[in-house]
Structure 1
């Protein structure tokens, strides 16, 4: 017995020594890190102080330090941001969707700031402000040459306070007295029926109450008799994680894991599960995604895909699998810092860019296809990590004709829609509205004398051919052929207005619909010409096709 104790003694002593050594080593490393941190902070503070004292001109210390902080954070990832005190209100608006003001999106169209979109049910719209009203004054301030940000700040203010604005509409100067109120930007700018049995919900953001708005829309559509649903997450850049969890819960049972966050600290590691009874766990569901769907949108789409609860249609999503936490700093500043990665139910993380590797390489580094790992959905379908959410059915993006881009970018569509609105009191249902042949001819006449030149795809290809031919010294040999092709394809703007008139008419009709029905009208106007929705209806109307996607092995 004593022999055994004697043999254990050295081992026990060795074990204790190793524990003490590892603890001391960790303590030393910790102290080294703290010293390095303190040293560099002291150097930074000393540098700013000496610059303030000795630099040949006066420096703006606030601006200089902010630039330094932002440059430092840019070394990490695009989502870690410094928020000084003066920007805190704007940040709160982004995360909550709330602010106090008049409820209108403003922008500069080259000739000054104007109302781009008044939000339905808020002071600007209720007082009679309309799209394309040019802002002249806000209270006593002439805003003709102010920046959009400056005008926006003047329009905002405490709720229940008044603000006077004057605008130029067509040729008339109009004045309005508005009472500011708390503005809550809707996460669901539109919902309705695509046909008698199919509902559609457009979810634009994930700010506070997003899940409540989707729930109300879904319940309303169900009361109208829908039996199938399209949830549109295209170009939704994300937002609050808990709202994403609640939206998934509308369609999957209570107690299901939606997303797991894992980071360096224990307090950011958490598994989010559904906690409520779903509104409808069986309704046939299609989710629309594209390259603009990110973060919370990807959690919703990915979780519904992992549970084989929805068919995903569109294009591969953005690939943001990082979670940010907002931390308070001194003097009412804040920092939004990436604290974790998230993992959806199959176990995959869909983060597409490796920022640590990117810092080392000096260029954006994505996860190569060869390193993407396979995971399984509930039904055993193969899905991959590391590059966003891939749709179950891909739809190529619509390619607009160059003339369409030019007419939109040159504000010709916008200006004609405004002119149309002044001449026509109403247009009827935006879903069925379309301009007439007479209207289109009037638009063509409206364009006379206006600049809207552009380069067609073929002309651009010819320009590239010329450039490379000259570079490789082949140009003299093919110059004659190139000139002959140029003569054949030299575009005719008037002819393009005929060739692409269906496309231009659809864009015009949507812009005109927005003058009467605002954001809701613009969305509704485009539903019947949407290739993604057309594909969604194909799957919703064919149960066998839908099930073949949700149960088949996906390679």
Structure 2
């Protein structure tokens, strides 16, 4: 209520200013305004007529609240796939979800090409453990087709009490036919950051840009620094995004202060530049690689796009999801809310990745590492009376002092990660040799 009271004088002042500036065009402006007003009321009359017809003729009684909510949902669904009406229950769940704990399957979904599509499964959730993948099409929920389903309806059907099951039918590229997957719902608790050391390289896996994800990132990075890592791999694969503010804070860790991370442009063309800020943890100088794939969306694309534009990191993997719009949550009086697209966003160099995504510097498809069988080759060490290397013991000792054992099984199962490790090692060696000259 206080916000509404504050808004009224501002609108009133604007009306007064407009009237004084265009006073000489009173007749024409009035005619145009009257025409617009008349057209608007004609359209509103269509809506009220439809409500009256339903009230009088529908086979069962329908609450006015149901009709109004349906009208609002319809309006928003006509705008774009990301604008929607949040009922009081959905709005409450949304606020809980951004804090990193909620009930459900653990997938982020969207409407893509008019088909309900999985953007990404969230790591270590029921959906992830069931083998769902980014790009999977959900064509049925509990045997009922998802044709023309809205996001809100899909979320409502997929969520439920922990311990209950839901069966979805998946169409996946490369499969001959659709298949069913039955998943048990659970409380989804998201740990935003996971970290480890691979061959003296720091590995940071960011699963979602939830509240305080940047703090978790800083804490993990400080622990890696204590282990004297020589480079960083930031893994944003299958990260569906989250809070724009957290995307800026995470970028601030890796970029100098006061650099544009992303800028938005509203319907009037007004630009708003969101810039890096001072952080307690800074890693703007350490060699770095970023991993992305088709499940990297929204805030993930903002971070990877900024690091790529400033040539701060080498981006490796597959083209990202391609969402370059900003949604604003506007609460309404009955504890519901409207989520509406209010701006487009652009990378620091002005690129729009809407519908095209972030293109990696080096494209690498996911797969496993398969080594060929070794063939016996004759080497110098196999020759009789070969010369010994007088420095070999010392060099081996020195090289083993600071090397962390690689998790070879992990790298063999993850071709993109192995490629990132190898490329980062190359960047470090090249940087050391260049600095020595």
Tell me, yes or no, if structure 1 residue 214 matches structure 2 residue 217. yes
Match of 2:423 in 1: 539
SS in 1 for 2:262: strand
Tell me, yes or no, if structure 1 residue 302 matches structure 2 residue 271. no
Match of 1:390 in 2: 359
How far the C-alpha of 1:37 sits from its partner, in A, is 3.8
1:306-346 per-residue CA deviation (whole Å, 9 max, x = no partner) reads 11000000011111111111112232221110010111211
Match of 2:191 in 1: 186
SS in 2 for 1:339: strand
Mapped partners of 2:207, 2:123: distance in 1? 16
1:329 to 323, 332, 335: 332
Tell me, yes or no, if structure 1 residue 152 matches structure 2 residue 156. no
Tell me, yes or no, if structure 1 residue 345 matches structure 2 residue 348. yes
Mapped partners of 2:54, 2:195: distance in 1? 57
How far the C-alpha of 1:222 sits from its partner, in A, is 0.8
1:291 to 277, 290, 294: 294
How far the C-alpha of 1:96 sits from its partner, in A, is 3.1
- Confirm or deny: 8 A CA contact 1:250 1:279 kept in the other structure: yes
1:208-251 per-residue CA deviation (whole Å, 9 max, x = no partner) reads 11111111111111112212110011111111111111111101
How far the C-alpha of 1:300 sits from its partner, in A, is 0.2
Change (3 A) 1:105 1:83: closer
Mapped partners of 1:250, 1:230: distance in 2? 14
How far the C-alpha of 1:35 sits from its partner, in A, is 4.5
How far the C-alpha of 1:106 sits from its partner, in A, is 8.6
- Confirm or deny: 8 A CA contact 1:251 1:280 kept in the other structure: yes
How far the C-alpha of 1:50 sits from its partner, in A, is 3.2
Matches within 5 A, 1:393-432: 393-398=362-367
Match of 2:273 in 1: 271
1:352-395 per-residue CA deviation (whole Å, 9 max, x = no partner) reads 2xxxxxxxxxxxxxxxxxxxxxxxxxxxxxxxxxx211101110
Change (3 A) 1:149 1:274: closer
Change (3 A) 1:318 1:534: same
- Confirm or deny: 8 A CA contact 1:246 1:274 kept in the other structure: yes
How far the C-alpha of 1:57 sits from its partner, in A, is 3.0
| Higher radius of gyration, 1 or 2 | 1
- Confirm or deny: 8 A CA contact 1:539 1:546 kept in the other structure: no
Mapped partners of 1:292, 1:106: distance in 2? 14
How far the C-alpha of 1:545 sits from its partner, in A, is 8.6
Structure with the higher fraction of residues in helix conformation: 1
How far the C-alpha of 1:265 sits from its partner, in A, is 5.3
- Confirm or deny: 8 A CA contact 2:368 2:412 kept in the other structure: no
2:207 to 204, 208, 232: 204
Change (3 A) 1:183 1:538: closer
- Confirm or deny: 8 A CA contact 1:237 1:297 kept in the other structure: yes
The alignment of Structure 1 onto Structure 2 pairs a total of residues equal to 314
Mapped partners of 1:152, 1:36: distance in 2? 50
Mapped partners of 1:542, 1:532: distance in 2? 15
- Confirm or deny: 8 A CA contact 1:106 1:148 kept in the other structure: no
Change (3 A) 1:187 1:544: closer
Q: What TM-score results when the alignment is normalised by the length of structure 2? A: 0.62
Mapped partners of 1:305, 1:68: distance in 2? 43
Change (3 A) 1:325 1:18: closer
Tell me, yes or no, if structure 1 residue 85 matches structure 2 residue 54. no
SS in 2 for 1:96: coil
| Structure 1 unaligned residues grouped into runs of 5+ | 1-16, 108-115, 121-130, 133-146, 155-181, 353-386, 401-430, 434-524, 548-555
How far the C-alpha of 1:73 sits from its partner, in A, is 2.3
How far the C-alpha of 1:36 sits from its partner, in A, is 3.6
Change (3 A) 1:97 1:537: same
How far the C-alpha of 1:88 sits from its partner, in A, is 1.4
Q: RMSD of the TM alignment (CA)?
A: 3.8
- Confirm or deny: 8 A CA contact 2:204 2:233 kept in the other structure: yes
| Structure 2 unaligned residues grouped into runs of 5+ | 1-19, 108-120, 131-156, 165-186, 370-405, 432-437
How far the C-alpha of 1:20 sits from its partner, in A, is 4.5
1:280 to 259, 279, 283: 283
Change (3 A) 1:43 1:332: farther
Change (3 A) 1:86 1:31: farther
How far the C-alpha of 1:269 sits from its partner, in A, is 4.1
Q: What TM-score results when the alignment is normalised by the length of structure 1? A: 0.50
- Confirm or deny: 8 A CA contact 1:539 1:545 kept in the other structure: no
1:268-288 per-residue CA deviation (whole Å, 9 max, x = no partner) reads 742111120461111111000
- Confirm or deny: 8 A CA contact 2:368 2:414 kept in the other structure: no
Mapped partners of 1:106, 1:229: distance in 2? 27
How far the C-alpha of 1:31 sits from its partner, in A, is 5.2
Change (3 A) 1:70 1:284: same
- Confirm or deny: 8 A CA contact 2:368 2:415 kept in the other structure: no
SS in 2 for 1:214: helix
Change (3 A) 1:289 1:119: closer
